[in-house]
Amino acid sequence: MSAVLNFKSHLAHLFAEALRVVAPEAEVAILIERPKQASHGDYACNLAMQLAKPLRQSPRNIAQALIAALPASDVIQKVEIAGAGFINVFITTAAKQAVVKTVLQAESEYGRGKVGAGRKVQVEFVSANPTGPLHIGHGRGAAVGDCLCNVLAASGWDVTREFYYNDAGAQIDNLRSSVQLRCQGITPDDPSWPENGYRGDYIADVARSYMAQETVEADDQHITGKGDVHDDEAIRHFAVAYLRREQDQDLRAFRVGFDVFSLESALYSEGKVAATVENLIASGHTYEQDDALWLRTTDFGDDKDRVMRKTDGGFTYFVPDVAYHLDKWQRGFTRVINEQGADHHSTITRVRAGLQALNVGIPKGWPDYVLHQMVTVLRNGQEVKISKRAGSYVTLRDLIDEVGCDATRYFLAARSPDSQLVFDIDLATSKSNENPVYYIQYAHARIQTVLKQCEPLVFGDANVGLLDSEEEKAVLQQLIDYPEVVETAAHDLAPHLIAFYLKDLAADFHRYYNATRFLVDDEAIKLARLSLCAATAQVIHNGLGLLGVNAPDTM
């Protein structure tokens, strides 16, 4: 029994075997769900209902046949037919209790699966323009993207983390001119300051460093300021390298790292944009109109065709995006996930259309997207809108410095990305049960405090059959659910499910802690209860690890 780490997957496998006997030609998805009422069992399957129409039989008769064909399993106590043909499965108490030893034996591996089977997946996230410090929106992208990578890796995927720098185009020209003006002693208060110029104090920092001929390192680049206020290209390269280094430092403080950094400018210098445009022209999906080159994206579901090359000869922003994603495909990433802000929604259709127009075998709907909504930061119930240093927005480093990395990561990852997020600084810094990250970490610390009073302990000798109180059953079920939650979070690209789960686990454990004495005279009961505590701490540790949050031993 201890080898069964995911009851839901185990039952799905059993019903798949039964399906091969009852209806070998049928192609239906096997859904195993948790009933809302405990009296309906631990798990329910609607397979008989799905087969009724193709088999032209009553669901209850099909359910009886499926139950008869189910392979034997020592985790199943009984199977019942309910209603029109639902199949309810009851798990043995011993199998539930055995999860404690399963967790303690697996340790950090508990919850990790093999659904990905070592297949490659590339996740692009953050991908901020190198024009200033990372703002809180970038922080949400970093938290969601990094946690998504973690849950995918935990589900057996071979994950590559990638950051794409938009280091070309109008925003970089604005950056260069802003730094250049600062080098000349002109400030944003001057009437000559351009409307699209960057006004934050960090621009003055870049200018001072450039004029002092300092050297900055960004990845493999070593750029030294020339101190020449008239050298546009030198200022451009230095400013980009300076801000890339600063963004990297912010990400390191946020415990986020990348395997690959890609530059938009390289797509041009290496001829990849030009080659992509030539391929699109050759594909027959482009046309000339009004001195511009258009892509017929309406051939692929877009609401209107899109300009590729403008009348001035420059390319619109989605063209290098198509070239970049073609490069991803050519690097062997048959699965790609882009975590981006919701403002990128309008580009999805045209990028996918461009990739389809290339006729190189890229499947429709590739790549996948996870889009996150805006973040509002509150302090004392009032919205915080600006950072002294950035001048126009709240930076990621502001939050890390004020509330800590753990709380920042948890709060930014703990909501579904497609919902707007309110980041309450007062809540994030409070040491109360209302603060979810504190509540979860406190559960872990509570357990460690108890366990340290009883060292050494040999949990292999624990009689987990003694864990039969209602509070213990609730915690046991939470431990059983963990592998399923990880698998679902990876499948649905929804890392926030881990945060939801940990909050529920912590709540059940705190109730157990408050209702139970652990250091009792009966050694068998004490060891059983402490083994459940230790298993709970291990799962909290594993789950927080997926969120990039520490599991402290003391609070």
What pLDDT is attached to residue 209?
97
Q: Alpha helices, DSSP H only, in 358-435?
A: 396-403, 405-413, 425-429
At 390 the pLDDT is 80
Name the DSSP class of 512.
H
Residue 373 is encoded by which pair of tokens? 């909504």
Q: What is the pLDDT of residue 220?
A: 67
Given a contact cutoff of 8 angstroms between Cβ atoms, the answer to whether 252 and 260 are in contact is no
Angle (CA) 164 402 218, round 5°: 30
Say whether 239 sits in a helix, a strand or coil: helix
Q: pLDDT per position in the chain (555 positions), as tens?
A: 344 468 998 999 999 999 999 999 998 999 999 998 888 899 999 999 999 999 999 999 999 999 999 999 999 999 999 998 999 999 999 999 999 999 999 999 999 999 999 999 999 999 999 999 999 999 999 999 999 999 999 999 999 999 999 998 889 999 999 999 999 999 999 999 999 999 999 999 999 999 999 999 876 678 999 999 999 999 999 999 999 999 999 999 999 999 999 999 999 999 999 999 999 999 999 999 999 999 999 999 899 999 999 999 999 989 999 999 999 999 999 999 999 999 888 889 999 999 999 999 999 999 999 999 999 999 999 999 888 788 789 999 999 999 999 999 999 999 999 999 999 999 999 999 999 999 999 999 999 999 999 878 889 899 999 999 999 999 999 999 999 999 999 999 999 999 999 999 999 999 999 999 999 999 999 999 999 999 999 999 999 999 999 999 998
Residues in the chain: 555
Scanning the structure block, which residue is given the tokens 């189910």? 70
Handedness of CA 402, 395, 547, 11 (dihedral sign): positive
> CA 364, CA 380: separation in Å to the nearest integer?
48
DSSP string, 29-49: ---EE--SSGGG-SEEE-HHH
Distance of alpha carbon 95 from alpha carbon 97, whole angstroms: 5
3-state class of 224 per DSSP?
strand
Return the closest-CA partner of residue 464 out of 98, 4, 105, 92.
Answer: 98
Residues 6+ apart with CB under 8 A from 321: 347, 351, 354
User: What type of residue is 431?
Assistant: K
C-alpha–C-alpha distance, residues 60 and 49, integer Å: 8
| Domains recognised in the chain with CATH numbers | 7-91 (3.30.1360.70), 170-253 (no CATH), 432-547 (1.10.730.10)
What is the Cα–Cα distance from 390 to 136, expressed in whole angstroms? 12
Model confidence over 35-67: pLDDT tens digits? 988 888 999 999 999 999 999 999 999 999 999
CB atoms within 10 A of CB 361: 7
Contact predicate 208/159, CB 8 Å: no
Closest by Cα among 476, 471, 496 to 485: 496
CB neighbour burial string for 33-48, b if at least 16 within 10 angstroms, e if fewer: eeeeeeebbbbbbbbb
Taking the C-alpha atoms of residue 364 and residue 191, their distance in angstroms, rounded to an integer, is 50
The reply to whether the predicted model has a pTM over 0.85 is: yes
Q: How far apart are CA 331 and CA 326, in angstroms?
A: 9
Please write the tens of the pLDDT for every residue from 130-167. 999 999 999 999 999 999 999 999 999 999 999 999 99
The 3 state secondary structure assigned to 215-231 is EEEECCEEEECCCCCCC
Yes or no: say if 362 and 355 are a contact pair by the CB < 8 Å rule. yes
Facing residues of 43 across strands?
Answer: 89
- At a CB cut-off of 8 Å and minimum separation 6, what does 250 contact? 133, 134, 395, 396, 397, 400
- How do strand 336-341 and strand 120-124 relate by DSSP bridges? parallel
| Closest-CA residue to 386 (of 132, 140, 125) | 132
